[in-house]
Amino acid sequence: MDEIIDRLRKVRKGAMFIIEAPSGTGKGTVIKELLKNDQNIKFSVSVTTRQPRPGEVEGVDYYFVSDEQYDEFLKQDAFYEYVDSQYGSRYGTLRSEVDSFINVGQDVLFDMDWAGARQMRQKAPDDVVTIYLLPPSIRELRRRLEGRGTDSREVIEKRMGIIMEKISHWDEFDYVIVNVSLAETVTKIQKIISGERMRRVRQVGLKGFVKELVKEAEEKQPF
Ligand code: ADP
C-alpha cells in the first residue's frame, strides 16, 4: 500500500502559485513564511538585464543576463511572461526553469504583478493558480509601509498614489485574502495549496492507478 501511495506522490504535476498585493500588504513576508514551511515549494528566479545590486546573488535573486542573451530568449519564445521595457531593465520568467520543477511534482511560487499573472494564465491555464492579498484598510497599509522602514517618504507617497490602480485588478485572481493576521493568511494559503494539489489535472499518476484498479477488479471477479 505504501508503495502505491509513494508512486502516486511522485507522479503529481506541480502548480504555479502567483501571489500579488499592493505594496506594503505583506506579500514578501507571506512568501518567506510559505517557503520556510514547505520544502516542496520553490521560488521562481527571474531573468533580468539589469546590473546586480550589492548583495544580490546570481541564481538566487535573479539570473543576470546580457541584452543579447535576453533577445535570444525572446526569439526562442523561452519566457512564460516578460516585461520588455523599452527604456529600463528587462525581466522574464523562463519556461525551462519553471517546467523543470512542475514536471517532477514541485510547486512554484511567483511574486508577480497582475500583468505577469495575465500572461502566465494565457500560456499555462491549467497550471496557474492566482492569489490576491488585500490590506485590511488603506490606513493600515500606510502604517505597514512606514513600519517596514525601507522606503523614503517620497517612495511611500508614490506607492500610496498607485494603490487604486493596483487594487482595481483584484477580481482577476482566483483567490482573495484580506491579510489581517499574518499567521492566518499563511494558513489559508497553505490550505489553497493542498487543495490545488488534489485537483485531478495535477494528479497525472491517477490514470495508471485507476487502470491497475480496473485490472485488479477484473482479475478478481467475482470478489
Ligand atoms: P509587500 O511585500 O507586500 O510590500 P512586506 O511583506 O514587506 O509587504 O510587509 C510590509 C510590512 O508589513 C512589513 O514590515 C511586515 O512585517 C508587515 N506585515 C506583513 N503582514 C502583516 C500582517 N498581517 N500584520 C501586520 N503587519 C504585517
Q: In whole numbers, what is the pLDDT of the chain averaged over residues?
A: 93
Ligand 1 pocket: which residues have CB below 6 Å?
21, 23-29, 144, 147-148, 179, 181-182
pLDDT tens digits, residue range 105-124? 999 999 999 999 999 999 99
Output the residue whose Cα is nearest ligand 1's atom 5.
26
Atom 19, ligand 1: residue with shortest CA distance: 26
Rg of the chain, C-alpha, whole Å: 21
Give residue 120's pLDDT.
Answer: 96
- pLDDT value for 10: 64
- Do residues 16 and 128 make contact, with C-beta atoms less than 8 angstroms apart? yes
Mean pLDDT of 174-188: 98
Q: If pLDDT is split at 50, 70 and 90, which confidence band does 221 have?
A: confident
pLDDT at 9: 60
CA of 118 relative to ligand 1 center, distance in Å? 25
Mutate to test the pocket of ligand 1, among 20, 25, 36, 144 (most ligand atoms within 8 A of CB): 144
With vertex at residue 175, the alpha carbon angle to CA 170 and CA 180, rounded to the nearest 5 degrees, is 80
Residue 1 has a pLDDT of 67
pTM summary value = 0.91
In whole angstroms, give the CA distance from residue 131 to residue 102. 18
Is-contact 67 89, C-beta < 8 A?
A: no
Q: Which atom of ligand 1 is nearest to the CA of 148?
A: 14
Pocket test for ligand 1, best of 131, 141, 148 (most atoms within 8 A of CB): 148
The arithmetic mean of pLDDT across residues 135-153, rounded, is: 96
